[in-house]
Structures are given as structure tokens and as C-alpha cells.
Chain A
Amino acid sequence: MAATRRDGAAAWHRRGVTGVAAAALFGLAVVALQAATLPEDSAELMFHSYDGGGVEVTGPAMELTKSFARDFSANVSYYVDSISAASIDVVTSASPYAERREEIGTGLKWLKGDSLMSVGYVSSDENDYESDTYTAAISQVFFGGLSTLSMGYGHGDDVVMRVDTDFRDRVDRDRFRLGLSQVLTPRLIATLDYEAVLEAGYLANPYRSARILGAQVPERYPRARNSHAAAIRAVRWMGEGASLRAGYRWYRDTWQLTSHTLELAGARHVSPGLVAELSYRFYTQDAASFYADDFDREYDYMARDKELSTFDSHAFGGRLTWDLSGRIGMLSRGSLSVGYDYLRFDYNDFTDIRNGELYAFDSHVFQVWFSGWW
């Protein structure tokens, strides 16, 4: 571990981004049209890989789900990120490094009539960032099964540290989510989602620097950030075993960061037991009010985090899923999925200080997933 590193794992787990299990727990719990059923007993395994911008992240993930007492279901999950980082921030100001992040989650669901209630807990641990997340959610199906109203709450307690000093600070986070899923026609489903996130504490990265007339100085962030995000999505049956999905998300926060996300995806049964999916995602954001590539003087708040700059990104993805019918050992059936995504990021006001040009990079995301049911 390089003691002088910058943009460490805190960047991979940055600014209160909940971990994979926490996000899954919160997301799964909050909006599920099939809310009035418990998940099937299953074991899931996944290998994931991210490579882009000088950062490589690989690792396994697994989850076990088991129902009991007829109306309850419990799950445990384990997730690992093995990180090797030589990102633009690292190579321009510190030494490359490698480290590991582990995430353990557990959850409980209770089905009561047309209501599904769930609680969850996720702990994430790395050598300079610790996070505990608690979630609770309820979904209610009504209107003859055509509507699902969901709401959820999550609370996070994070500790931010530096590996080379005794720096230590806290982040408190509250997430509120409301969702409505509605069957509109025999071929069309739409969802509306709203989420507010309230954060307080140390929201910067203790390793990263801002620039004033080219000189590096520590970043200074406000100690509070409240955000609003709203999304509308729809999926439509196109006939012949095919569907088309579309979605739009609007985002705004008290740091004056605004973003728009467009999603398009299609899925189709290409042969018995095989589903192919293609997706495209466009994302654009305007910079936070206190972001600058190079400040002309000292300000109360200063950031040079490229994730707070003005940029666009495109993501193209594909996924194949095989249903493995018939018994596989002790499993009654299984499913195998392989996915790949190509991501492109183009920054409008973040320069590569090695050559003075606007920064851009490509990423490749690869996933292999297997699930067995018994």
C-alpha cells in the first residue's frame, strides 16, 4: 500500500455510494411489482470485472436465499472488490496501489397478504473506509395486482479514514424512496420512482487535491448534501418474445449538480431457453457549483473531483441468459448469464495535467453469473 496514494478505495466507495448488496437490498425491497411473493430459494454466484481509466476491479459475489415459516425469507450475501488503481488522479499525484473491499449483507422479508416488508443490513469494510447501512421497506400490491406502491428508508453510518495519517471523520446518510409500478395495458408496464438522499459529514476524498493557478491544495467540500432524483421507466411487449424498455432519470442536488440519464434496452427469446438483451445508456451532468479544473484564487469550497465535473457518458451493453432446465446435482434447475458493457466517458472541463488535454477514457465491464434453485 502506497502511503502517498490519492483517490483510493474511497473513490470506489465514494460519497456514500452504497455498496452492491446495499443497493440491491434497497432497490429490491422498494420497487417490485411482484411484491406479493417471496423470492425463491436459490444460490447465486457471480464473477465481476471492471477495467477502465487505469483502474481494475475484480472479485466474486454470492448470495443465498432461503424461505422459512411459510411467510418469511432470509438472505445473506458476500461481495469482494479487489482493486488495482492507477487512475488519472493516482498517476498524476501519487503511487499506484492495490487493496480489497469486502461487503457482507443480510436481509429478512415478511410476506403478509399483499404486503411485502423487508429489513436489511450491509457492512462494507476496507482499510480506509467503513460503512454500515440499515434498510427497511414495504411494498403493497393493490388494484387487482396492477399497481404496486413501495416506500423505503435507509440509513448509513460511514467512517472515512486515511491510511497514512490518523485522519478520521464520519458521514451520516438517510435515503427515502417512493415508487409506483403500474400495469397500463396488457403489453405495457410503467414505473415512477423518487428518491431523496440527505448526507452530512465529511463528503470529500481525503486524498484528492484541488488546484489554484496550478498549485495543488486540499479539497474543501460542504459538510451537507441533499439530493432529489426522479425517474420514469416503461417496458413494452413487442410481440414474438421481445420487449423494449425505456427510461429517464432527472437528478438535482444542493451542490447544484444536475444530471439526466436516458436508458434503452431490448430483450428477446432467441431460442428456447436463451434470452438475449442489448442496452444503451446515455448520461450527462453539469458540474457542481464549487468544481473547477484550476481555480483562479482560493474559495471557501473547492473541488477537482472529475465525478463532479461536466461530462457525458455512453454505455453499450449485451447479455445472454441460458435457462438450464433439468436437475443439476441437488438443484432443480439453474440459470447462467454472461454480460458485457462498454463505457465511454468524455469530460468537458477536467484536463489531463500530463498533456493539458481534456480527459476521456473507456471502460469494460464483464460479468458471469450462475444461479441454482432447489
Chain B
Amino acid sequence: MGANLSSPARRSCQGSCRGDAARILGRVPGRAWDKGLNLSLARMRERGWGPAAFRAVVLAAALAALSGCAAPEPWVKPYEREALADPVMALSRNGMMDAYRQHVFDVREGSRGATESEGGGCGCN
């Protein structure tokens, strides 16, 4: 059973999790340990898992989580944007003409909003 996320100890972690991480790593047996987490640790100890093994598991999990959260690199490099920079790749090539054309539709239809707007282009800037 994992830590109860709604416990006061967990909520108080929202500002800084350093203390909470220390507790999870077993350095601080502190009063904020909730019952569920204590039970889990007790079961692990019964199975021969010492504090070092527990720390290793938590560290591995943290590293895995961090690697999963790493920001992806931009996958279209600047030298690959030649086609994107072509004027025909703009969603609207002429703002004034497109705005008037859209106005004609808006007046004749019951809908409004999220209409075609300026955009497209190379993302080169």
C-alpha cells in the first residue's frame, strides 16, 4: 500500500518535498509517516529488504520518472524548415481578404468563433 496522498503530511509537501523525500528514503522516521506507508515498509523488512534496498528502489523509480519527464528535443531542425517557410504553407496567406471572406460566412451562418486565422509558416523565428 502506498502513501495516502490526501494525508496532511502529503498535502504539506506541496511547498517543498525535501522533508518528505527524506522520510521516504528512511532517514527521518518522523511523525508524518502514515499508517499505510509504515505497513508497506514493515512488509518489506519481513521479506529481507533493508533500508538500503528500499532507498535503491525509490532512487531507481525517481530516476525512471525523471527520464520520463525530460523535455523532448525539437524534432524538426532549422535546416529542415525550408518547405515550412514557403508562403503556400501559411494557413492564411492574406489576412485582410480572409477576414472579409470569413465575415461573409459569419453573417449568413448561425455559428461564430474558432475561425481560420493567421498561422502556418516555418516556425523559423
A residues sitting closer than 8 Å to B (CB atoms) are 11-21, 23-24, 27-28, 30-37, 44, 46, 48, 50, 61, 63, 114, 141, 143-148, 175, 177, 179, 181, 183, 185-187, 189, 191, 193-197, 227-231, 233, 235, 237, 241-243, 245, 247, 249, 251, 253, 257, 259, 261, 263, 267-269, 275, 277, 281, 283, 285, 288, 307-308, 313, 315, 317, 319, 321, 337, 339, 341, 343, 345, 363, 365, 367, 369
A20-B100, A283-B105, A285-B109 known; A243 and B89 CB under 8 Å? yes
Interface size class of chain B, counting residues whose CB lies under 8 Å from the partner chain: 35 or more
- Tell me the interface secondary structure of chain B in the complex: loop
A23-B103, A257-B110, A337-B97 known; A183 and B116 CB under 8 Å? no
A44 and B103 CA atoms in complex are apart in Å by: 18
- Which of A50, A177, A267 is close to B104, meaning CB atoms less than 8 Å apart? A50
Whether, in the assembled complex, B16 has its beta carbon less than 8 Å from a beta carbon of chain A, the answer is no
Choose the segment among B1-9, B52-60, B75-83 that binds chain A (4+ C-beta atoms closer than 8 Å): B75-83
Interface pairs (21), CB distance under 8 Å: A20-B96, A27-B99, A28-B118, A34-B122, A50-B104, A61-B96, A144-B74, A144-B123, A148-B119, A189-B89, A189-B123, A191-B91, A229-B111, A249-B114, A259-B109, A269-B88, A307-B109, A315-B105, A321-B93, A367-B97, A369-B97
- Which of B93, B103, B119 is close to A31, meaning CB atoms less than 8 Å apart? B119
| Residues in B whose Cβ lies below 8 Å from that of A341 | 101, 104
A259 and B91 CA atoms in complex are apart in Å by: 22
B residues sitting closer than 8 Å to A (CB atoms) are 73-76, 78, 80-81, 83-84, 86-97, 99-125
